[in-house]
Structure 1
Amino acid sequence: MLITFKSKATATVTMYEEHARRILNLLHKDAKRGVITASEAGTALTKLEAEVAESRAHPTSDEVQHDIHAHHGDFGDDNEHEPPQAVSFSARAYPLLEMLREAHKGGYDILWGV
């Protein structure tokens, strides 16, 4: 399922719910419907930037690497797909992080599920 974040600050940001949920849980927000008000944006930005920095400090876990390799053959001979690449949390969070920065600067709310 997809979540589309909307704000007057930037273009919309769409993420898979499973990836957005980590961010929304960090901000104590519901994944189905919610708002990050302009007054909350500064705190949300600080929390998300700290989580991104923390995720960059720790490389992809062995468990994740095992899952990637398990789905692409023992010898990397999966001819039907591109080589596996893990997408970091910071890369997934970047569009929403930029939206938060612009919303904070402009004093705009961010909405989803409405």
Structure 2
Amino acid sequence: MLITFKSKAATEITMYKEHARRILDLLHKDVDRGIITPAELPLAIVKIEAAIADSKAHPVSEEVSRDVNAHHSEKGDDHEHEIPEPVSFAARVFPVLEMLHAANKMQKEVVWGV
């Protein structure tokens, strides 16, 4: 399932619902449908920037790396999987954060699921 973030201050952003969920959970927002009002934007930006800093301070655990690499053998066989390229939280949230900054500057809301 896809979620599309919309604002009159920026271009639409579409991402998988499972990735949007982490962002929206930080903001205590429903993943299916919602709005971030101009009054809520400054705090939303602060929360997301803090989560980015936290994610950069805590690298991917060995357990997660082991699970990702489990699909690849010692001989380099990939079992028909492409080589995994993890995408950091900071990279995933960057477009949404840029939208929030633009919306805050123009005092426009950000909506999704509508």
Q: Alpha carbon RMSD of aligned pairs, Å? A: 1.4
2:111 aligned counterpart, secondary structure: strand
Distance 2:75 2:61 in 1: 20
State the match for 2:59 in structure 1.
59
Whole-angstrom distance in 1 between the partners of 2:23 and 2:57: 17
Structure 1: distance between partners of 2:9 and 2:46: 18
Distance (Å, rounded) in 1 between the aligned partners of 2:9 and 2:73? 44
CA distance 1:71–1:42, change in 2 (3 Å): same
- AA matched with 1:31: V
1:16 aligns with: 16
Please give the residue correspondences for 1:24-103 in structure 2 after superposition, counting only pairs within 5 Å.
24-78=24-78, 80-103=80-103
SS class of match (1:52):
helix
- The structural deviation recorded for 1:53 is 0.5
| SS of residue in 1 equivalent to 2:32 | coil
Cα deviation for residue 20 of structure 1 reads 0.7
Q: CA deviation at 1:64?
A: 1.6
Kept in 2: contact 1:72–1:84 (CA 8 A): no
Distance 1:87 1:13 in 2: 17
Task: Note the residue ranges of structure 2 that are not aligned, 5 or more in a row.
Answer: none
The number of aligned residues is 114
The percent identity for this pair of structures is 59
Query: Residues 72 and 79 of structure 2 are in contact (CA less than 8 Å); yes or no, is this contact kept in structure 1?
Result: no
Q: Quick check: 1:107 aligned with 2:103?
A: no
Structure 1 residue ranges without an equivalent (≥5): none
TM-score (norm 2): 0.93
Q: Give the superposition deviation at 1:80.
A: 4.4
Q: Distance in 2 between matches of 1:78 and 1:96?
A: 33
